[in-house]
Structure 1
Amino acid sequence: MPGTPTPSWTVGDLTVHRIDEVPLPPATGPWLLPDATPEVVAGHDWLRPAFADTDGVLRLDSHSFAVVLDGLRVLVDTGIGNGKQRANPAWHDLRTDYLQRLTGAGFPPDAVDLVVLTHLHADHVGWNTRAVDGAWVPTFPGARYVTARAEREFWAGYAMDEARERMFQDSVLPVERAGLLDLVDVPAEGLRLLPGLRLLPTPGHTPGHVAVELTGRDRTALITGDCVHHPVQLARPALGACVDIDPRRSEATRRALLASLAGTDTLLLGTHFAPPTAGLVRADGDAYRLRAVPPAPVAPA
């Protein structure tokens, strides 16, 4: 609720805030990660109770991350949005207090300077816009919205169904028409957008998907986007999402990313991870586990 402390993590001299939108319903897990069966989940005790319930049903959330970098207010992904007509019942015509939470954390919409979109799926671009006088207008009119050129160009040539076309009409095209969407080329070594902010190519879920690396003094955090949807994929990296465009590439990306993080002090922040949301990647046999790092509440601005 507005006025409550914002869950946050300290990363060197940065403070990364989680801006909650909505918990996703229990049916999300079996749909999204169909091979993450209750039997699979039961084999990994560390997933319960935070990331799965006692029946092996996965817990997932929709939220964004916000941080001040180089004097700029930065938002990573914009969730599902309010009032959007969506085929997925869990995303359809929401009425959440997301913007109040964002403002309470010190990021009022008019003050946001940069919006990083890990990819262009409906649950990551929804608050790009909001309804004003019957039209969809940019929620963050003073911001530069950034996504990978490979991502936008892929969807430009994709035969969209009606639901995806509607999402582009209400959440992507208004930002483009306002001249606010910047497309960037992301090389293999990553792209530094700002001091302390680097985009890392993590293709597979979508062709232009990026993860977001944040570096503050001597500490680093990495925001997953959808290259990892749920911590069960640390234990079973071969588990893919039903909406991965290129499942083989998605798995290869996930394995490489987790191998690079294992045993380091890089904080992994999951875009759909239920609370406690973040942790350190540790080797566990021939795979990995997440050693949870709970957030610390930050009083409202």
Structure 2
Amino acid sequence: MTQENAQRMVLGDVEVLRIVEWQGAFRPGGELVPAVAAETWSENEDWLAPDHWEPETGRTVQALQTWVLRSGGRTVLVDTGVGDGRERPDSPEFHRRRGDFLGLLERVGVRPEDVDVVVNTHLHADHVGWNTHEADGEWVPTFPNAQYLLPAADDFHFGPGNAYGNGLRKDDRLVYEDSVAPVHRAGRSLLWDGTHRIDEHLTLESAPGHTPGSAVLRLASGGERAVFVGDLLHSPVQFLAPSCNSCFCLDAGQAAASRRRILGRAADERELVVPAHFGGAGAAEVRREGEGFGLVRWAAYGRG
């Protein structure tokens, strides 16, 4: 595996592997984070380009990636990407996409049966897709020995009891039926709300707004800290304008409040901020600057 596909860092007693399934141009900045002024992008070109924004096209740069944490003798996956060959008519970027996700994991020594815990920070299509794979015409858990930690509020919102996200998007039902329901049927799921402690180093915490059950995963070990924030952030411009949401956030007020709270704590406690879709280094340390936050440094990795 190349450096671009797998990167490694150690935080205290936890090994962190970043597995990049795909990275490239995505939606225009003005579409992805609509409330951010056009000049904000151009005025910050020196550090947004080329890893997070393309000045020549105005398109953002995004990544599909999974974080593998080796903690307390167990292997934990944080989010599982889009999946293989899924029907996603509402999302052309993901529709019937094929990828080598399991191959990427195998090249860093992670086989499906080795995974102990799967964390879905929320239940959008690009965070749960490899929860399952197709076997004999049925969707079954990809990681047969893992406990899948699912936010209870998202499970309800996107599930049949709420008619699959209030029936607003066809994809929501498809995602639930092929990537979430099979995990429940197999008895591999655990629904949680508020906070959930995985081990002495890892704790899940609700941060609603992007979706009703959106969560962050906090890592604290040996004086090192990080927070895996899922889709709390889609672009580094949201450091500068934390009240501005992505076009995918379901509750604007809640999303902005969660973003400010998590970034504020990260700045105060020097937590490395690890969003789900940042290109480039994929993680950053931030500081308070006026009404927003500034970049202290990008993450530093070794070879995966």
Normalising by structure 1, what TM-score?
A: 0.91
Deviates more, 1:200-209 or 1:287-296: 287-296
Change in 2 beyond 3 A, CA 1:125/1:5: closer
- Asked if residue 111 in structure 1 is aligned to residue 86 in structure 2, the reply is no
Q: Does 1:13 align with 2:13?
A: yes
User: What is the CA-CA distance between 1:166 and the residue it aligns to?
Assistant: 1.1
Aligned to 1:25: 25
SS in 1 for 2:226: strand
Residue identity matched to 1:100: G
Secondary structure (helix, strand or coil) at the match of 2:59 reads: coil
CA contact (8 A) 2:5 2:19 kept: no
Return the alpha-carbon distance in structure 1 between the equivalents of residues 5 and 27 of structure 2: 29
| Cα RMSD (Å) | 2.0
Q: 1:256-281: per-residue Cα shift (whole Å, max 9, x none)?
A: 11111125431111111102111101
Shift of 1:185: 2.6
Q: Structure 1 residue 24: deviation in Å?
A: 4.7
* Alignment partners' CA distance in 2, 1:20 and 1:141: 23
| Counterpart in the other structure of 1:73 | 75
User: Which ranges in structure 1 are unaligned for 5 or more consecutive residues?
Assistant: none
Distance 1:79 1:253 in 2: 23
- Mapped pair 1:211 → 2:216: yes
1:242 aligns with 2:247: yes
Task: Tell me the distance in 1 between the aligned counterparts of 2:303 and 2:24.
Answer: 24
Structure 1 segments (4+ residues) deviating >6 Å: 2-5
The separation in 1 between residues aligned to 2:66 and 2:36, in whole angstroms, is: 24
Cα drift, residue 217 of structure 1: 1.4
CA deviations over 1:227-282 (Å, ceiling 9, x no partner): 11221111111211222111011001111111111254311111111021111012
For 1:214 and 1:281, the matched residues in 2 are separated by 16
Q: Is the aligned partner of 1:277 residue 2:282?
A: yes
Count of aligned pairs between the two proteins: 296
User: Per the alignment, in what secondary structure is the counterpart of residue 127 of structure 2?
Assistant: helix
Show structure 2 runs of 5+ residues with no match: none
Aligned position for 1:252? 257
1:154-194: CA deviation from partner (whole Å, max 9, x where unpaired): 223242232211111111111111111110132xxx33121
Match of 2:199 in 1: 194
Match of 1:178 in 2: 186
Q: Is the 8 A contact 2:116 2:147 kept in 1?
A: yes
- Paired residue secondary structure (1:250): helix
Pick the aligned partner of 1:225 from 224, 230, 242: 230
In structure 1, the residue corresponding to 2:139 is in which secondary structure? strand
Name the SS for the 2:25 alignment partner: coil
Q: Does 1:169 align with 2:177?
A: yes
| Contact 2:25-2:60 within 8 A present in 1 as well | no
Q: How far apart, in 2, do the equivalents of 1:102 and 1:295 lie?
A: 21
Asked if the contact 1:24/1:90 (under 8 Å) is kept, the reply is no
The answer to whether the 8 A contact 2:234-2:278 is kept is: yes
